[in-house]
Structure 1
């Protein structure tokens, strides 16, 4: 009787390896499930981020990134070079993938972006040509100078064309010139930044404590004239740099005369993302600070 019990105990002990084996299989299954879940990305979210960065760096308003939906995307371990094709929702053939790539849509978007850049370049060159002709017709080529830079079209107006020395009041002759300039700039939707500059000779009068104040007020007065002549105020901004952005040496009278100027910057559209917008949602605005009672 005792010998039979010993045999049953040995038989039970021999089958215990199945418990360890089943635990190991379960852990392996969980491990591969975790790896599989980590290998999936949100394709729609990734595409939205890529489009937003592309528009921010290349021009235009960045697209709004929607993070509410999270469809399953392609595996991170998928081999091959990713293509820059557009994804179209709702037309996928794979039941686990709700998007597919449309080469035609990607090509059309690329051509549209290039077309907008070319049109803007032509617009800037046309404005420059008109202003150059206006300066030549009025014999002020040395006082109204245009140049195309990376940030856009720069129209430099020398101090003697707009102001008396040490004054921020625009002369009557300058108002006529600014009116003609406004008729050319009004046709473009681009942002316009008005920059005031001076030389390094110190100024200290009852109206201005330094060159910085003089440059700011001059720029502001020019902005007011441009607005009155038809340019919408949401396109305008004023900046004063004083003597700290010279374009020539201040060691000579000729150099100081070049530095005393007003620059009208017709910014390229890609800089719209850096300009404050009046279309910002109300939730992003700062709440008013309550008054402190004495």
Structure 2
């Protein structure tokens, strides 16, 4: 074979490329998963710090503990090298012992706490409205009630919440999230017929106003299964509709908070 043919033959030979599958090249996924988990824990911490309930510190501790405990469980390890088939030679059989059940939690009476916190909220944050009678807190044998005049929450003949109403309902929602009770929002009007084709009558207006309050409370974090709106039109006046001042007293929205725990409002009312 000539020298030219020998050189051509060598050029035709294919050089096998070096393998790029180095062991452990996917280990970055572990670090990335840890980073995402810690970032999630950071946002959980920020959310927990924003809560204004008396048990904030305990809830923060539980939230962070749950997140960090789940770090190792959420990352699936990547096998490096050939997988091990069968059981290790030094494996031991450990008898599974059932975890004992936690003792039942005794439910404490929360009615006094709800009434006290709600009263303090109104007196400290909305003292002017409380003194002028635009907002009141009361209780009965079964309910704690927060009554708000419609002029505080809505414009005349409207059902969109004012900025002042939103500020109040944010604080109410933060309080109610700590007490899993059934909540009913009642809408009431006076007996003057509505001159509006858009609303139709006082039944529609009272229902829409109650629904607007419920929507805001749910948007601020309250469980939607525990709350519902009810419109009563002018059928349950607070005082007789004899003059403008009396009719103003009857135009109101009432948030009623049950003194009994309830997972959802439907079972509370109908079962």
**Cα separation, partners in 2 of 1:230 and 1:147, compared to 1, 3 Å:** same
Q: How many Å separate the matches in 2 of 1:121 and 1:175?
A: 25
1:263 and 2:254 equivalent? Answer: yes
Determine if the alignment matches structure 1 residue 236 to structure 2 residue 220. no
* C-alpha distance after superposition, 1:4-56 (max 9, x if no partner): xxxxxxxxxxxxxxxxxxxxxxxxxxxxxxxxxxxxxxxxxxxxxxxxxxxxx
Tell me how far apart the structure 1 counterparts of residues 215 and 263 of structure 2 sit (CA, whole Å).
Answer: 24
1:133 lines up with 2:123 in the alignment = yes
Q: For residues 176-207 of structure 1, what are the alpha-carbon distances to aligned partners after superposition, in whole Å with 9 as ceiling and x for unaligned?
A: 12112222222211111000000001113121
Shift of 1:131: 3.0
Unpaired runs of 5+ residues, structure 2, are 1-105
Aligned partner of 1:154 in structure 2 is 145
Is the contact between residue 153 and residue 266 of structure 1 (CA under 8 Å) also seen in structure 2? yes
Matched residue count: 164
Mapped contact 1:196–1:239 kept (Cα < 8 A): yes
2:110 corresponds to 1:120: yes
Q: Structure 1 residues 172, 228: closer, same or farther in 2, change over 3 A? A: same
Matching residue of 1:183: 174
State how far apart, in whole Å, the 2-side matches of 1:121 and 1:219 are: 23
TM-score by length of 2: 0.55
Paired position in structure 2 for 1:9:
none
What SS does the aligned partner of 2:115 have?
Answer: helix
RMSD: 2.7
Contact 2:110 2:179 in 1 (8 A): no
For structure 1, the 5+ residue unaligned runs are 1-111, 281-294
Structure possessing the higher radius of gyration over alpha carbons: 1
**SS of residue matched to 1:242:** coil
Q: Residues 191 and 160 (structure 1 numbering): CA distance in 2 closer, same or farther, change over 3 Å?
A: same
Bigger relative contact order, structure 1 or 2, given CA contacts below 8 A and separation 6+?
Answer: 2
Q: Distance in 1 between the 2:124 and 2:176 partners?
A: 13
1:192 paired residue number:
183
Q: For the Cα contact (< 8 Å) 1:151–1:268, is it kept in 2? A: yes
Superposition deviation, residue 125 in structure 1: 2.7
- Structure 1 position 122, deviation (Å): 2.3
CA contact (8 A) 1:131 1:146 kept: no
Is the Cα contact below 8 Å between 1:130 and 1:184 reproduced in 2?
no
Distance in 2, Cα, partners of 1:224 & 1:121: 24
| 1:250 paired residue number | 241
Q: Given that residues 215 and 241 in structure 1 are in contact (C-alpha distance below 8 angstroms), is that contact kept between their aligned partners in structure 2?
A: yes
**Matches of 1:277 and 1:122 in 2, distance apart?**
23
TM-score (norm 1): 0.51
Instruction: Tell me, in whole angstroms, the C-alpha distance in 1 between the residues paired with 2:212 and 2:118.
Output: 23
